Structure formats: structure tokens, C-alpha cells
Amino acid sequence: MKKITTIIVLAFTIVSFSQIKHGLRDNQGRHIIPRGFVINTNDHKGEVFFNSDDYARQVRMGANHQVIRLELGKVSQFPGGKVEPKYLQKLDSLVELGKNHDIKTIFKMTVYGVDKFVWEEFWQNKNDYQYKTYINAWKVIWKRFANEPYVLGYDIVNEPRKLKMDITYKDLTNKYLIPLYQRIIDESQKINPDKKILFQSIFMNKGEKIDNNQYAEITSTINRKNIVFAPHIYQNNVDFIQKNMDRFDRESDMLKAPILIGEWGFPTFAITDTTIVGKLGQLEYRKLYIKTAEVFDKMGVGSIKAWFLGNRTMQNFLAGGPSTWSIFSDKTDAGTVERKYITDVISRPFPQAIAGDIQSFLFNFAKRELNVHFKSDNKKGASKIFIGANRHYPDGFSIIVNDAFVMYYNPLKNVGLEVYKTTKDANPADFIWDAKSQKLIVLKWGKDNADYHLKIVPGIRNF
């Protein structure tokens, strides 16, 4: 495989920005943008297995986080369920695979695998059975991973429902959902107080959307620390993406919780794999995903795409016919044949971790250009920028920061990064191109507590 040339230019920006309010901080204090995939432990055909190569592929698609879907029936005492040691060992292996590839883990609880799960009975909680049993299921996970730094946190209730209850969504949220969240958070923080708790809003019944958004609004605070608002967005109307995200942003402000999009990406129809134009064609999907990605990046939110999975099964609940969230089209569990009309959007360049404060970032798909504004803070360690040169810059790429310091990597050579020009403050040895992970690693910025504008562009520019 040919290597690609990198040009890196590094300097100070004249423009002043304020820090974006989303993203997270790691234990070094770096500003982190989480991105990655939902990892299923099974599908409709049975268990799903992953290996180290699968995780290497995730890294080369920009993943630095994974969300593992837990099956309630394998970690609880709900009717039909039991705590299964082999399942817990499988979770251990997935966390370890992530850790070996610098991917942090979030666990998400689904209600699958029990004899039945009735949301109305859950909310009514007779004799406190449902809540105690549900929290005890979480305790199995909390205790097992309390001391694992590569487990970031827990998404505590996946897509809670109202269904046939005679209650408004607002009352269901205020009377049942938020008190349950508070109770779960309090119990979790007795065991692992430093873990993040992710939470969602009520998934509204079919046909009960507001502004084409099927997730009910949260209007009351939770009043707990270390919380992250993790809404889902499966929007298929370009005109509503910004409006939906603006509402989530208002909720985030009220809740005092940053946003991490827990799942996103409208499901792909079987017909889309063979159709280029039209409502369900690949061009429309690409347009929809690009618009969604741009809104995410302008807000500075992290996002988790469903699913890192092959196409062994499809669901048939949408008018367009059989559909799937799988990002691979081959009929294997892990999958290798990408649906590139969406995966190239999912795997766009972005700042994964910045030693300092990220002020803005955006990847322009038409220009293949990433712009990142940030303020440096070298005591927080190395910075990592995912570039994805293998898919976005086969013609080589340049990284430009105000034209003061320039390095490049020529795809026609095999000599690593080359210096075009430097400054007295910058050390070219601090800039490392990791072809395996497709990341630029910056050990130290030229000046501390300084504003930077880093730009990545295609090709090797003539300076």
C-alpha cells in the first residue's frame, strides 16, 4: 500500500473563539470528542463475535469509543433471565479489545432476553420489584468494571417507552423517568462515582412525533453530577436535523449535561445498495448523512453510529421495505464490505483529543478540508487528530496552521514526514503520523496557552 504525504503547518490564529460546550474531558484533562460504533453482542441469528482485526478497522474508521449493548436477560433476575458468567466474560473480552486499541467503552442496557418486559409494569413498579431487579442487574456491571479506566460509563435505560399508559409524556418523564434516573445514578455512584452516567428521553409511540422527532422533550432537571445527555437521532428529513439538534441543545443547557449522540443514522434499505438516485438512493443517503455530520461537528458533539455489524438479517418495519442499521453489506457477523456511501461520512476527519480547549471544528466534504480551532495546554499531554488518509486523502494531504510551520508526507516517497518550513517554537519531532491508526499525534504544541488554527487539506500544496 502506498504511503501518503502529510503537510503540517502550525501557528497562531488571530481569530478568537470560545470553547465548545460539548465533548468530554479525559483523566488527563484533554478535550475529547467521542466517536465510534454500537457493538452488538448478538443479532437475530445468534451471537456476534469480534476479534482484534475488527477493532483495528474501527480505529481506522475514526473510533475512539464503543457502546456495548447489554442484554437484560443475561445480567438480571427478571423472569427468563439470569446472570450468565460466559456472557460477562464476553463483555470482559470486548472491553479488553477496545482497551488494546485505545477505544473506551460505554455499556448500554437493553431490555432484550427476558420472558417479557412490559413498560407499564416497569413504571408502576409494584412492591419495588422492577426497579430493584433492574438496578441489581446494573450492579453486576458496575462492580465488575468499577476499577477499569477504559470503561467510561453507562447508558442506563435504552429508549424508555410509554406505550399504552394513560399519561402524558411530560408526566411520565417527571413522575417516573427522572426519579428512576436519580435513583440509578445514586446507586451507581456508591460503587463507581467517577463513571459517567448517560441518559435518554422517552421514545414516543409510533406516529407521535413532534417536529419529526420521536423523542419526547425533557423539561425537568436531574440534579446529579457526571451525567451526559445521550439522545438518539434517526432523522430522515434534512429540514429537521438542525431543529431537532437545537432542541437537544436546549435540553442540554437545562440539564447541565453535555451531549453525546448515543445512536444516529437513519437505517439503510436493502434497495439502497443497488440504487444510486431517487428517494432511497445512495446519493440521497450521502446527502442526509453529510448534513447530519455537519450539524454534529458544528455543535462539537460526539456521536455513536449503529451498528458495527454485518448484514445477516434485516428488519421490515418501514414503508421502504427491508432495512438495517448495519454499516456492512456482507452477510457475516462482523462484516467487512462497507456501505461506503455512509461509511465515508461516518469516518470523516476530526480532532479526537486535544491538549487544551477545542473551540470549533468542521470537515468540509466538498473540499475534503478539516478546520480545527483550539487553545493549547501542553501539560495535558499529546493531541490526536483522526485523518483517515486511506479513504479521504489518497492523493496525499497537508496540515496547515497559519502557514508558520509546515510538514508533509509524499505518497510517492517512503520517507515519513518531511519538513517544508519551521519556526523557533516548533519541533518537527513532536509531530508523528501513525499510518496504522490513521492519526496525527502531536506530542507538544509550539506555544502553550496559545490559539491555533489547524487545517487539513488534500494534496501537497505548493507553498
Is the domain of 291 the same as that of 407?
Answer: no
Domain count, the chain: 2
139 in a structural domain? yes
Is the domain of 311 the same as that of 213?
Answer: yes
Residue 199 reports pLDDT greater than 80 = yes
Residues spanned by the domain of 195: 32-350
293 in a structural domain? yes
Residue 7 reports pLDDT greater than 70 = no
25 in a structural domain? no
Question: Looking at residue 406, what is its pLDDT?
Answer: 82
Q: Taking the alpha carbons of 181, 187, 190, 193 in that order, is the dihedral positive or negative?
A: negative
DSSP 79-112: TT----HHHHHHHHHHHHHHHHTT-EEEEEEE-T
Per-residue pLDDT band for 147 (boundaries 50, 70, 90) equals very high
End position of a domain, from candidates 323, 350, 377: 350
End position of a domain, from candidates 350, 385, 402: 350
pLDDT, mean of residues 141-159: 98
Better-predicted residue by pLDDT, 402 or 463:
402
Question: Looking at residue 18, what is its pLDDT?
Answer: 64
pLDDT, mean of residues 222-244: 97
Is the domain of 300 the same as that of 367?
Answer: no
CA–CA gap between residue 429 and residue 318 (Å, rounded): 53
185 in a structural domain? yes
Q: How confident is the prediction for the chain on average, in pLDDT?
A: 93
Is the domain of 263 the same as that of 297?
Answer: yes
User: The pTM is what?
Assistant: 0.94
Backbone angles phi, psi at 25, to 5 degrees: -120, 135
Is the domain of 11 the same as that of 64?
Answer: no
CA–CA gap between residue 335 and residue 347 (Å, rounded): 16
Question: Tens digit of pLDDT for each residue in 411-445?
Answer: 788 777 787 888 889 888 999 999 999 999 999 99
Residue 251 reports pLDDT greater than 50 = yes
205 in a structural domain? yes
**425, 386 contact by CB (below 8 A):** no
135 in a structural domain? yes
| Location of C-alpha cell 484533562 | 29
411 in a structural domain? yes
26 in a structural domain? no
pLDDT, mean of residues 162-184: 97
pLDDT, mean of residues 314-341: 94
Q: How many other C-beta atoms can be found within 10 angstroms of the C-beta atom of residue 450?
A: 17
End position of a domain, from candidates 322, 350, 378: 350
Is the domain of 98 the same as that of 243?
Answer: yes
State which of 16-25, 37-46, 102-111 shows the largest mean pLDDT.
102-111
Question: Looking at residue 462, what is its pLDDT?
Answer: 53
Name 371's bridge partners.
Answer: 362, 455
What percent of the chain has pLDDT above 90? 85
Is the domain of 416 the same as that of 341?
Answer: no
Question: Looking at residue 404, what is its pLDDT?
Answer: 83
Is the domain of 289 the same as that of 332?
Answer: yes
Is the domain of 280 the same as that of 425?
Answer: no
Q: How many residues does the structure list for the chain?
A: 463
Q: What is the H or E stretch that residue 291 is in?
A: helix 282-299
Per-residue pLDDT band for 5 (boundaries 50, 70, 90) equals very low
Is the domain of 406 the same as that of 387?
Answer: yes
CATH code for the domain of 321: 3.20.20.80
Residue 180 reports pLDDT greater than 80 = yes
Question: Looking at residue 275, what is its pLDDT?
Answer: 96
CA–CA gap between residue 318 and residue 70 (Å, rounded): 25
Residue 12 reports pLDDT greater than 80 = no
pLDDT, mean of residues 196-200: 98
Find the helix packing angle between 178-191 and 129-145, rounded to 10°: 30
Is the domain of 210 the same as that of 299?
Answer: yes
Per-residue pLDDT band for 461 (boundaries 50, 70, 90) equals low
